A and B are shown apart, each in its own frame.
Chain A
Amino acid sequence: MKTKIAGSRARVLASVALAALCASICLCGCVSMPPPAPSVSEGPARTPENSSVCYGIYGIESGLTYIEFAQMNTDFPPCNMQASASSMIWVTKPIVAGERYKLIKVRGRRITAYFRLNAASEVDFTVPSEPGLHYMGAHGAYEEKYGGQPVEMELVSLDAVLRMYAGTAWAPVIQKRIEELKNAK
């Protein structure tokens, strides 16, 4: 599938609007969407013991302003998830093991990219069976802003996760993970 911007394997549809202009204007992270509070899920409260928070980096020109996933596993309830997105970092609400999320749309300040339904994107993921925090890696054109080691990129992501989950039962888990990574460096 012809694309203007793409992940290495994902077939991405992208707007060609002002692409050259956008490339020269680095707005990444200048203005960020305030991360939404974790939404209240139906059923029992989703805690670090029974659910997962997934997060990662997706690079798109002039910063990631919007990222949307669709829950594709019909054994679980449907879910259209607009994950928190800012400075190329995306963070999910608490989700449960076995749910399969497909990347549907990402938006930068000037470009929107669509992902063909029948082509797997490298950002698509299934929630791992182990509850807790899961870093899903860095994809897209992220090198210019986050060209460091994977550990450093996860640490940067965790800052955003912590801001989003400050004051919740997730905060100590996130702090612990940050400490682990810092000690591992």
Chain B
Amino acid sequence: MRNNRMVKIGLILALSALCALSAAARSPTPKRPIGNKVMIVGRIALKQDIARAFYAKSFGVSADAADTYLLPNKACRGSKRLNKGEAYTNVGDFFFITYTLPKDRVFRFDGCLLQFFGKKELMIGVPLRLSCPVPEGVKYLYIGTYVIDVANNDFVIRDIQARDEYDLAKEELLRRVGNRATLFRSPVSQEKDQRCKSSFFFPVDGTNGFWTTID
């Protein structure tokens, strides 16, 4: 009896530890960028929700699953090879991602992939094509909030509106990294004529998987 109880307690403790580790892996504390790296802060949101209950049934997924988005791990037409347990950002939440700046210190950013219901087979590319000069010494850069207007009948992006939510972004950043961070706001321009070339690799099993691009 006593042994059984000890086993049960052990199992509960092990499960708790696993849950804690898993939670920690999902929300790591951002590290202060060093060298020519800069942490980009922004937010991707949907202008209005899709007909969630309807599409959950048509896609055969749970209506409770959150929409997520994923950014490339290299700025300026970079690629993103996903790892097991890769952290996604929920649509509507701020993202914090560190990139290495090119020599001209102009941050260029193709955009992201948005996955409805968090499913890789239900994705759309979100082309942002941002360009933003970054002065020397800047470690934290705010690039704006981008509100995506997705048509509810065919998921085509009708419009992407930029919003300035600097104060909110700064508050969120300081909450994460402490008062040592100074969030820089730089004029961001959009290169609408260029095609996005950032790519994402989704592993399916072992070494197999598929690539996709934003545009």
Contact = CB atoms under 8 A, between A and B. Distances in A.
Interface of A: 1-4, 13-18, 68, 70-74, 78-80, 104-105, 112, 114-118, 120
Main secondary structure of the interface of A (DSSP, over half): loop
Contact of A14 (B154, B199, B210): B210
A18 B124 CA distance: 26
B164 to A, nearest CB: 26
Contact of B124 (A15, A74, A80, A117): A117
Contacts of B208: 15-18
B56 to A, nearest CB: 8
B215 A72 contact: no
B121 A104 contact: yes
B153 A72 contact: yes
Contacts of B122: 104, 117
Contacts of B212: 1-3, 13, 116
Nearest to B197: A2
Interface of B: 51, 53-60, 116, 120-125, 150, 152-157, 199, 202, 204-205, 207-213, 215
Contacts of A104: 59, 121-122
Given A3-B212, A15-B204, 19 more contacts: A1-B125, A2-B212, A14-B210, A16-B210, A17-B204, A17-B205, A17-B209, A74-B152, A78-B55, A79-B57, A79-B58, A80-B57, A104-B121, A115-B121, A116-B124, A117-B124, A117-B155, A118-B150, A120-B154
Contacts of A71: 58
B51 A74 contact: yes
Contacts of B210: 4, 13-16, 114
B121 A78 contact: no
Contacts of B205: 17
Contacts of B209: 15-17
B110 to A, nearest CB: 13
A122 to B, nearest CB: 15
Given A105-B121, A116-B212, A118-B125, A70 B59 contact: yes
A39 to B, nearest CB: 14
Given A13-B210, A17-B208, A116-B124, A73 B153 contact: yes
Contacts of B53: 78
A2 B213 contact: yes
A73 B205 CA distance: 34
B58 A1 contact: no
A80 B121 contact: no
Nearest to B211: A2
A118 B215 contact: no
Contacts of B213: 1-2
A74 B53 CA distance: 11
A118 B155 contact: yes
A3 B59 CA distance: 22
21 contacts: A14-B210, A15-B210, A16-B211, A17-B208, A18-B208, A72-B153, A72-B154, A78-B54, A78-B55, A78-B57, A79-B57, A79-B58, A80-B57, A104-B121, A112-B204, A114-B210, A116-B123, A116-B124, A117-B123, A117-B124, A118-B154
A113 B29 CA distance: 36
A13 B121 CA distance: 9
Given A13-B210, A116-B125, A118-B157, A70 B55 contact: yes
B178 to A, nearest CB: 39
Nearest to A71: B58
Given A13-B210, A116-B125, A70 B58 contact: yes
Contacts of B121: 13, 104-105, 114-115
